[in-house]
Amino acid sequence: MRLLEYTVLPVIWAGLLLAALSMGDMQVLNQHSICGPWGCGPPTNALVAIHVAWAVVLWPSSFYLSWRVRLPRPVVKTVSTVMIMVGLSGLVGIVVWQWAVWLPNTSDWAAEYIWQRCGFAIATASDWPLFQLLFAGTLVKGIQPAIRGAEAPKLDVAE
pLDDT given for residue 130 in this prediction: 94
pLDDT given for residue 30 in this prediction: 62
At position 148, the amino acid (one-letter code) is R
pLDDT given for residue 1 in this prediction: 67
Q: Which one-letter DSSP state was computed for residue 35?
A: E
pLDDT given for residue 74 in this prediction: 86
pLDDT given for residue 144 in this prediction: 72
Residue 36's beta-bridge partner residues? Answer: 39
The answer to whether 130 and 90 are in contact (CB under 8 A) is: yes
- Centre a 10 Å sphere on the Cβ of residue 7 and count the other Cβ atoms it contains: 9
The answer to whether 144 and 77 are in contact (CB under 8 A) is: yes
3-state secondary structure of 25: helix
pLDDT given for residue 146 in this prediction: 66
Q: For the chain, which ranges sit under pLDDT 70?
A: 1, 28-32, 66, 145-159
pLDDT given for residue 134 in this prediction: 93
pTM of the predicted protein model: 0.76
pLDDT given for residue 32 in this prediction: 66
- Centre a 10 Å sphere on the Cβ of residue 158 and count the other Cβ atoms it contains: 3
pLDDT given for residue 132 in this prediction: 92
Element (H, E) at 20: helix 2-22
**CA neighbours within 13 Å on the CB side: how many for 91?**
16
pLDDT given for residue 60 in this prediction: 82
pLDDT given for residue 87 in this prediction: 95
pLDDT given for residue 150 in this prediction: 42
Residue 7: left if φ>0, alpha if ψ -120 to 50, beta else—which one? Answer: alpha
pLDDT, tens digit (0-9, with 9 covering 90-100), for 1-22: 678 777 888 898 899 899 988 8
Residue 157: exposure state from Cβ atoms within 10 A (0-12, 13-18, ≥19): exposed
pLDDT given for residue 47 in this prediction: 87
Alpha helices, DSSP H, located in 23-153: 44-67, 73-97, 108-111, 114-123, 130-148
pLDDT given for residue 10 in this prediction: 85
